[in-house]
Amino acid sequence: MMTNEKLRNIAIIAHVDHGKTTLVDAMLKQSHVFRSNEQVAERVMDSGDIERERGITILSKNTAIMYNDIKINIVDTPGHADFGGEVERVLNMVDGVVLLVDAFEGPMPQTKYVLRKALEQGLKPIVVINKIDKPNQRVDDVYDEVLELFMELDADDDQLDFPVIYATARDGVAKYKMEDDNADLKPLMETIVKEIPAPKGDPEAPLQMMVTTLESDSFVGRVAIGRIIRGTAKTNQNVVLINGDQTVKAKIGKVFVYQGLKRVETGSASMGDIVALTGLGDVSIGYTVADAENPEALPTINIDEPTLSMTFGVNTSPFAGREGEFVTSRHLRDRLFKEIETNVAMKVEETDSADVFKVSGRGELHLSILIETMRREGYELQVGKPEVVYKTINGQLCEPIENLTVEVPQEFMGAVMEGLGTRKAELVNMTETAGYMRLEFTIPARGLIGFRSELLTSTKGNGIMNHVFHGYAPYKGDIPGRTRGSLVAFEQGETTGYGIFTLQDRGTMFVGPGEAVYEGMIVGENSRENDIDINPCKKKNVSNMRTSSSDEAIRITPPRILSLEQAIEYINSDELVEVTPEHVRLRKSILDRTIRGRNAKNARKG
């Protein structure tokens, strides 16, 4: 066994919004990756449009910097629990983690989830307490909370002896102690080099590499990314791809290593380095790339199972095909099966209908990001209500349970606890920080569907929630669904101001004047629990008689515009969300109101 002292591999892990990507930005700038006159975007690692718009990391990404003569490979990971599959994969590529914790918020649910995975793999942690410039920072308390978390997760003695760095990632400042006067990230860089173990292995042994990430390139096909466990990868080298009992011969096209934000071609790369290989054909995540003469498989990656599923179907509304480029079941099937090649925490299953697929993922955000990506690519589809994935364990029906953390001002605590009580949540812990109450619950995953919008309403926008998968537990019983019915259009046409004006007393409208609607489309929420068929396209009859009120202005309440996530949370089991590149519409599964009425009558009789 040899040690490659010129190399360090680290992953940066943290809860969402604690500053991972901002810290990577600062490390890149201070290692002079960019030219002095180069325009650099904020959060340069968040390269996707949706990542930039939402300010979250969705896909883990690789970069590399030089500190003195040592190369540091850095993996930036997502902070959302829904993208935990991304984190689990990439931890196989590194020898240590930089755990970032907010100096005010302290360890949050996702911090705990990712740290558990890292400690289980025996990775060396460095703790960075970030945002120490906050006026309400509580650095000492946060340090104690981090230490408690390590002890709770059964960290070994070596892991418990973690170094702590204090930082303001936005300003590119790191310190060994709070009172130090320092203006760069040198303390963090030196701690990484000193504390994170260098990769160990035999560069002369037969090649072994685990594929942990996959990218698609229109010129060279699939690009397999992973860490070389032993041996050397060379251009045009003959290898075998091992997947379980299957082995396929292949040949490495080109070998790339990371320098800054770029992939740089190299003739060969040795043990410990993170590389990108082209030319391997139908390679997938979890495959071992091994030497052709001595093929030996590496242990496979274990990824937690999906907890939420939805149906994805071909758009069957009267407006189908007007906006999208890809509208057939063949297009939909190809796109979904292409997604699971790279998105290992997602599952796609075929159903009895050739036009409908069951897609399972880690949570609503995980699935809604896929839907949003597909609509931007020109797909039209319709999706059903999210449902949790049940399991039978020891003959008992079990459901996924989440750890939920809610932060609310004290005055709204009662309303939040009342709302969560009906959703079968159980209070585990309660603490007060700076006027906010932090409430920790365990709750069935199905109890979280639709809760985010309810929380924002009941706390007047002041509530913050985070949740992470806890495990499976026996079924908790029925949870009441939506308490209000839908306003459903009963004819196709264009909405009018007069039509909406006459209906707005019935409930909240989702459409404004001049919008195209069709029979069976949901145009509003009823103020009562039953569905009502309405006509928002009604025109005012013209007569030659004048009434005293005929010239009064019509006053219309602005419609409630639902985002994609809100629409998915809102629908009932007999409703669908129609998603096109330009519109998100709600509709009934059965558009014809006569058939709907007949089915409802039969159900009552039955």
| Annotated binding-site ranges | 17-22, 130-133
* Phi, psi torsion values for 60, nearest 5 degrees: -70, 145
Query: Residues marked as binding for GTP?
Result: 17-22, 130-133
Amino acid of residue 466: N
Where residue 19 falls (left for φ over 0; alpha for ψ -120 to 50; beta otherwise) is left
Judge residue 261's burial from the number of C-beta atoms within 10 Å of its C-beta, 0-12 exposed, 13-18 middle, 19 or more buried: middle
Instruction: Report the relative pairing of strands 70-76 and 61-67 from DSSP bridges.
Output: antiparallel
For residue 246, give the H/E element and its range.
strand 246-251
559 in helix, strand or coil?
A: coil
Query: In the numeric block, which tokens belong to residue 599?
Result: 């089915």
3-state secondary structure of 477: coil
Choose among 506, 562, 503: nearest CA to 537: 503
Fill in the DSSP letter of residue 197.
P
The CA–CA distances, whole Å, from 392 to 227, 348, 468 equal 37, 21, 21
Provide φ and ψ at 553, rounded to 5°. -70, 140
Give the closest residue to 150 by CA, choosing from 181, 166, 126, 134: 126
User: Which of 263, 133, 102, 273 has the alpha carbon at shortest distance from 201?
Assistant: 273
In Å, how far are 313, 339, 584, 587 from 324, measured between CA atoms? 14, 19, 12, 18
CA distance 388 to 288: 33
Phi then psi dihedrals of residue 383, to 5 deg: -125, 150
Rounded alpha-carbon distances, angstroms, from residue 27 to 172, 259, 272: 7, 13, 21
User: Longest C-alpha distance within the chain, in Å?
Assistant: 98
The token pair that represents 320 in the structure block: 């189908």
Across 390-403, b (16+ Cβ under 10 Å) vs e yields eeeeeeeebbbbbb
**CA of 561: how far to CAs of 362, 509, 512, 543, 583, in Å?**
26, 9, 9, 35, 11
SS (H, E, C) 530-542: CCEEECCCCCCCC
Asked if 411 contacts 463 with a C-beta cutoff of 8 angstroms, the reply is no
d(CA 80, CA 70): 31
**Measured between alpha carbons, how far is residue 381 from residues 278, 317, 326 in Å?**
33, 10, 9
